[in-house]
């Protein structure tokens, strides 16, 4: 091997995260016959969020990277909370992120018969028993990490009675909560998960796939490892909270497996983001209580919310790449996510003119009725993107904030006596304004210099400010939805003494109904298209758009000079 190859080899290794390194080592050691099979195991009890995207990118991404496969398995063991609506949305979101499970679509419910058989076998081998205590009693007997638990009075029931009761539990003879099947392991184990964990509970609710076949349903710990085993999963990658479950995971798998094969569980840190919540229970509550418009409300951290907001799959994947995978829990600033979408859209979004808070600008020396077609660059970051026409007329709209009658120092925008450039058009000099009875500016006046038309030598003259504008005559009205953080505090999950709903930001959505957009934007806008509104931010066409009335979501604001100006 040459030196150069060595170096490349080294650099490639360096860029692998700790899970990739572990997988690579297993493959090199020839474990599982050199096979790599991961799985993504969502419970269909809600929509996927950005945290799930981190798991999706790991599970599918690592399979892609090392030539393996990744199963999609719905962990559908609790019919009460689950629904096909969620199954469909999860599939759609994984595809949108750019991953595919091929023909490897599975459901934990497919394994109910096999899991039942295993439970029966364990009962017969004296490894499981039916406990008739309430969940409170069972919890009380659990002990603490430093104190051993107490054996259930039902722990030593005979095998026949256990078998009979388990059968009858499933026939529906007993009420929910009256009985559970527990593994008989060790109430004094230093690992709390070994203190006779519950294997099955009674749920009398039709399952979306198995209907009324079952009245008992396996717990996560009794279903997950075995499902991995049934599918031949080699690496079961999950989040850190499952680390303490790992010995139990292996314990149950060993009831099925011989020495030659046991899926390997590996754990990484879950994603938490500032100013939002990631708990499906809380997200569901926001939806159910109408505190947001739905799972795809653009303020939600869900994949469909981010999609509707204008995020691209690439920006999400870049973000996840950037934050990486570690063994430590923490919270990531949402500004890092925003940075990723800005970076992506900077490269791909057309620049357009839209005036969000319009006020009329009249060029008093411009010929009445004249229209000139100016040329606006589509994207200065992309030399192949071309230009589009933007009509210039005597009456325009500019942003209200771009005019001040009595400005502070260093205000380089529109103010009487000062020159300013109208982007892609002319240099104009402000001459004054007209106000209404309330003192509100109604019209602004200026004069243009015909020699400064964009492209002419006169346009080279230095002026400090450049403003965007649209023609009053040719522009169209549109609605824009300006989003801000959904919560007022950095980490809502941490405020234990408060109801998380009290922490919602009341100003997280501001709707502007009289935005003015240039004709090019009006003509090209299709649902899902993304644009940069110059000097304002990135926007995406919303599904609520109608032909004669477009609706735009603000994906993210631009980091612009205005912010600095306001600070002064
Ligand atoms: P639940 O409370 O319903 O179990 P969950 O968020 O764990 O919620 P699952 O559907 O079980 O939801 O998650 C599927 C996979 O996504 C799991 O492997 C889980 O570890 C992973 N996952 C969930 N939330 C995050 C997160 N915030 N960051 C990274 N991975 C996550
Ligand atoms: Mg879970």
In the reported structure, the alpha carbon of residue 369 is separated from the centroid of ligand 2 by a whole-number distance in angstroms of 65
Q: Which pLDDT value is given to residue 547?
A: 81
Mean pLDDT computed over every residue of the chain: 94
Token reading at 356? 């969000």
pTM: 0.93
> Does residue 175 register a pLDDT over 70?
yes
In the reported structure, the alpha carbon of residue 50 is separated from the centroid of ligand 2 by a whole-number distance in angstroms of 14
Ligand with an atom nearest the CA of residue 270: 1
The active-site residue out of 31, 114, 270, 429 is 270
Chain Cα centroid distance, residue 20 = 23
The active-site residue out of 20, 24, 31, 43 is 43
> Does residue 520 register a pLDDT over 60?
yes
Helix (H, G, I), strand (E, B) or coil at 397: strand
Residue 125's alpha-carbon distances to 21, 118, 402, 536, in angstroms, are 39, 10, 80, 69
DSSP letter at 307 equals H
Q: Which pLDDT value is given to residue 568?
A: 35
Secondary element (H or E) of residue 444: strand 441-448
Atom of ligand 1 minimally distant from the CA of 42 = 10
Q: Which pLDDT value is given to residue 559?
A: 78
**pLDDT per position as a tens digit, 234-288:** 999 999 999 999 999 999 999 998 888 999 999 999 999 999 999 999 999 999 9
| Phi, psi (rounded to 5 degrees) for 548 | -95, 0
Place of tokens 């600033």: 333
- 396-411 burial by CB neighbour count: b if 16+ within 10 A, else e? bbbbeebbbeeeeeeb
**pLDDT per position as a tens digit, 185-217:** 999 999 999 999 999 999 999 999 999 999 999
What is the fold of 280-350+479-567?
Ribosomal Protein L25; Chain P (2.40.240)
Q: Which pLDDT value is given to residue 430?
A: 98
Closest to 302 measured CA to CA, from 16, 33, 37, 49: 49
Place of tokens 């109430």: 187
Q: Which pLDDT value is given to residue 14?
A: 54
**pLDDT per position as a tens digit, 147-160:** 999 999 999 999 99
Q: Which pLDDT value is given to residue 1?
A: 34
Q: Per mean pLDDT, which range of 276-285, 489-498, 536-545 is the poorest?
A: 489-498
Determine the average pLDDT of the residues in 348-375. 97
List where CATH 2.40.240.10 sits in the chain: 280-350+479-567, 354-468
User: Which residue's alpha carbon is at the smallest distance from atom 10 of ligand 1?
Assistant: 42
Any residues with Cβ below 6 Å from ligand 1, and which? 41-43, 45, 51-52, 54-55, 75, 238-239, 270-271, 278, 280
The active-site residue out of 91, 209, 264, 280 is 280
Return d(Cα 565, Cα 568) in angstroms, integer: 5
> Does residue 351 register a pLDDT over 70?
yes
- Around Cβ 213, how many Cβ atoms within 10 Å? 12
Q: Which pLDDT value is given to residue 258?
A: 84
Q: Which residue has the higher pLDDT, 2 or 130?
A: 130
Token reading at 98? 């750019």
Ligand 1 pocket check: which of 239, 274, 326 to mutate, most ligand atoms within 8 Å of Cβ? 239
In the CATH scheme, what architecture does the domain 354-468 have? Beta Barrel (2.40)
Counting residues of the chain whose pLDDT is more than 70, the rounded percentage is: 96
User: Which residue's alpha carbon is at the smallest distance from atom 9 of ligand 1?
Assistant: 42
Atom of ligand 1 minimally distant from the CA of 239 = 20
43 is catalytic: yes
Closest to 456 measured CA to CA, from 464, 445, 448, 465: 448
Q: What CATH number has the domain spanning 18-268?
A: 3.40.50.620
Q: Which residue has the higher pLDDT, 14 or 532?
A: 532
Determine the average pLDDT of the residues in 421-429. 97
Token reading at 214? 């079952």
């Amino acid at each position: 091997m040459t030196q150069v190859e060595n170096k490349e080899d080294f650099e490639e290794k360096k860029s692998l995260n700790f899970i990739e390194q572990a997988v690579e080592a297993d493959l090199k050691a020839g474990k599982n016959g050199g096979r790599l099979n991961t799985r993504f195991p969502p419970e269909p009890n809600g929509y996927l969020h950005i945290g799930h995207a981190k798991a999706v990118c790991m599970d599918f991404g690592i399979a892609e990277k090392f030539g393996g496969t990744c199963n999609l398995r719905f962990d559908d063991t609790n019919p009460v909370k689950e629904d096909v609506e969620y199954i469909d949305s999860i599939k759609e979101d994984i595809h949108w992120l750019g991953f595919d499970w091929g023909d490897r679509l599975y459901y934990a419910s497919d394994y109910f018969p096999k899991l039942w058989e295993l439970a029966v076998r364990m009962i017969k081998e004296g490894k499981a028993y039916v406990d008739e205590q309430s969940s409170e009693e069972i919890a009380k007997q659990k002990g603490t990490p430093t104190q051993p638990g107490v054996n259930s009075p039902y722990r030593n029931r005979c095998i026949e009675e256990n078998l009979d009761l388990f059968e009858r539990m499933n026939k529906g003879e007993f009420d929910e909560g009256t009985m559970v099947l527990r593994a008989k392991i060790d109430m004094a184990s230093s690992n709390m998960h070994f203190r006779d964990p519950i294997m099955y509970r009674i749920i009398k609710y039709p399952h979306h796939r198995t209907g009324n076949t079952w009245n008992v349903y396996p717990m996560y710990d009794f279903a997950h490892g075995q499902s991995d085993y049934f599918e031949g999963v080699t690496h079961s990658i999950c989040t850190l909270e499952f680390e303490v479950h790992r010995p139990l995971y292996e314990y149950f798998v060993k009831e099925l497996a011989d020495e030659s094969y046991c899926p390997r569980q590996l754990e990484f840190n879950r994603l938490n983001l500032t100013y939002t919540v990631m708990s499906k229970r809380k997200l569901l509550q926001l939806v159910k209580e109408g505190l947001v418009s739905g799972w795809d409300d653009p303020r939600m951290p869900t994949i469909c919310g981010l999609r509707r907001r204008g995020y691209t799959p690439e920006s999400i994947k870049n973000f996840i790449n950037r934050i990486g995978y570690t063994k430590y829990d923490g919270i990531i600033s949402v500004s890092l996510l925003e940075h990723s979408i800005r970076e992506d859209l900077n490269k791909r979004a057309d620049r357009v003119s839209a005036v969000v808070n319009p006020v009329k600008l009249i060029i008093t020396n411009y010929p009445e009725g004249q229209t000139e077609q100016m040329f606006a660059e589509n994207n200065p970051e992309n030399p192949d993107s071309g230009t589009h026409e933007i009509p210039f007329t005597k009456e325009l709209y500019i942003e209200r904030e771009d005019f001040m009658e009595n400005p502070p120092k260093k205000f380089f925008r529109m103010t009487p006596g000062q020159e300013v450039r109208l982007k892609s058009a002319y240099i104009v000099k402000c001459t004054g304004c007209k106000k209404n009875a309330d003192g509100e500016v109604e019209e602004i006046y200026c004069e243009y210099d015909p020699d400064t038309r964009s492209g002419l030598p006169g346009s080279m003259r230095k002026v400090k400010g450049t403003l965007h504008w649209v023609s009053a005559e040719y522009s169209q009205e549109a609605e824009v939805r300006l989003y801000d953080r959904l919560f007022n505090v950095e980490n809502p999950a941490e405020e234990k003494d408060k109801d998380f709903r009290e922490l919602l930001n009341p100003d997280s959505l501001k709707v502007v109904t009289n935005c003015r957009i240039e004709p090019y934007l009006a003509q090209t806008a299709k649902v899902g298209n993304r644009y940069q509104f110059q000097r304002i931010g990135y926007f995406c066409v919303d599904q609520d758009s109608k032909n004669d009335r477009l609706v735009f979501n603000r994906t993210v604001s631009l980091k612009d000079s205005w912010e600095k100006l306001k600070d002064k």
